[in-house]
Amino acid sequence: MPRALITGVTGQDGSYLAELLLGRGYEVHGIVRRSSSFHTERIDHLYTDPHLLGDDGHGEPGGLRLHYGDMLDGTALRRILDAAQPDEVYNLAAQSHVRVSFDQSEHTADVAGLGALRLFEAVRDHARAAGRPVRVYQAGSSEMFGLAPAPQNEASPFLPRSPYAVAKVAAHHFGVTFREAYGLFIANGILFNHESPRRGETFVTLKITRAAARIRLGLQDRLYLGELDARRDWGFAGDYVVAMWLMLQQPVPGDFVVATGESHSVREFLEAAFGRLELDWQAHVVLDPRYRRPVEIPHLCGDSTRARATLGWTPRVRFAELVAMMVDHDLDLAQRERAGGAPPNVGPGSRAPGPGRA
């Protein structure tokens, strides 16, 4: 039975990837940060309390197993590698919000940049000590391209425009360096924006679909947003984790752009999402400078020719279907909220803007 370790398993991509790997017969190990409150909603449906299985720590292989750890703690990463003995490691952990990375630049660089280095060093030592190969996926981002003209592919320059993007560029180069210096199998995915009903609430897509659904049901009236003209290449997270897995099944490691090849502005996303609910977004959206970044990236649109040719990967969900999936999910959520009588001031854009609502 193959074993995989996922950092960032509690995030959007971590949950889809864990589902994919469990479905393919992997034993999946995930790293969870200690928190004062539960934050495992995205993977609760995949996890069985070992006590219910009669597991004394030496139970049957398989399933999802969770370990406390943090990308800031190299010792813990090494112990987790020893405990999990993974064949494949997926490094998805990051402070992944671009706007927040301007507020928490050192932390973002530590987790997303140095964190990757800590993990690669730990994998290098673990693989040597265990005497077997370990394949690593590094979650790179289209943000690394920054101002490089669209469409961006593997040959485009990295011109990052945020602390987040700079940290991801560093992680990318750590990966290439460790591949060349030590012969480690490290594949760098360069993924363009990918969304789903499990997206974090402060990313623009889910912020819009959540608000549109609540406005439709009279649970809120306004949605506060920043830049509306920026264009992004939005795909479905469930499709993108397949590309991650395929990268680790190749005979040699490489770097791959993963994208739909279609870009839309935030304005177009608003039109599609509100339009599905027969609402006029212009009657509800209020521009709020606090949601703008100090510098913006105007246009990201990926050319994933290499991934399509080499991995045989292709995105199944296109823009209109993605928007519909998210709006329909959030409408169902809002209907349940209304039925439960939750207070009307709960939801993105209607709460007092705070650090968590960026």
227 belongs to the catalytic site? no
Interface of this chain with ligand NAP, residues 117 to 156, rule: CB under 6 A? 139, 141
Structure-block tokens of residue 293: 């970044």
Extended beta strands in 197-347, E state: 223-225, 231-232, 235-236, 255-258, 264-265, 285-287
Among 3, 5, 11, 257, the residue binding ligand NAP under the rule CB under 6 A is 11
Residue 238's closest CA among 63, 17, 67?
A: 17
Partner whose footprint covers residue 166, from ligand NAP, ligand F7E, none (CB < 5 to 8 Å by kind): none
If one asks whether residue 111 binds ligand NAP (CB under 6 A), the answer comes out as yes
Contacts 24+ apart (CB under 8 A), 54-58: none
Q: What are phi and psi of 341, to 5 degrees?
A: 70, 30
- 299, β-bridge pairs: 231
Question: Which stretch in 175-183, 199-207, 241-249, 317-325 sits in contact with ligand F7E by CB under 6 A?
Answer: 199-207
60 belongs to the catalytic site? no
Q: What are phi and psi of 27, to 5 degrees?
A: -90, 125
DSSP state of 83: H
Partner whose footprint covers residue 98, from ligand NAP, ligand F7E, none (CB < 5 to 8 Å by kind): ligand F7E
Taking the least distance from each CB to ligand F7E, the nearer of 188 and 205 is: 205
Work out how close the CB of 80 gets to ligand NAP at its nearest, in angstroms, rounded to a whole number: 11
If one asks whether residue 96 binds ligand F7E (CB under 6 A), the answer comes out as yes
Among 15, 156, 188, 193, the residue binding ligand F7E under the rule CB under 6 A is 193
Structure-block tokens of residue 335: 């209907």
Q: What are phi and psi of 310, to 5 degrees?
A: -85, -45
Angle at 160 between CA 157 and CA 165, to 5 degrees: 125
If one asks whether residue 169 binds ligand F7E (CB under 6 A), the answer comes out as no
If one asks whether residue 197 binds ligand NAP (CB under 6 A), the answer comes out as no
137 belongs to the catalytic site? no
**Does residue 31 sit in helix, strand or coil?**
strand
- Give the residue carrying structure tokens 């960026």: 358
If one asks whether residue 225 binds ligand F7E (CB under 6 A), the answer comes out as yes
Q: How far is CA 319 from CA 66, 145, 189, 205, 256, in A?
A: 34, 22, 21, 11, 21
If one asks whether residue 268 binds ligand F7E (CB under 6 A), the answer comes out as no
Among 257, 266, 273, 323, the residue binding ligand F7E under the rule CB under 6 A is 266
Distance between CA 66 and CA 80 in Å, rounded? 10
If one asks whether residue 266 binds ligand NAP (CB under 6 A), the answer comes out as no
Work out how close the CB of 40 gets to ligand NAP at its nearest, in angstroms, rounded to a whole number: 8
Partner whose footprint covers residue 227, from ligand NAP, ligand F7E, none (CB < 5 to 8 Å by kind): ligand F7E
Strands 88-91 and 135-141: parallel
If one asks whether residue 121 binds ligand F7E (CB under 6 A), the answer comes out as no
For ligand NAP, how many residues bind (rule: CB under 6 A)?
Answer: 25
Which one from 19, 27, 88, 143 is the annotated catalytic residue? 143
Binding footprint of ligand F7E on the chain (CB under 6 A): 96, 98-99, 141-143, 192-193, 202-205, 207, 225-227, 230, 232, 266, 291, 293, 296
Q: Could you give the residue numbers annotated as active site?
A: 141, 143, 164
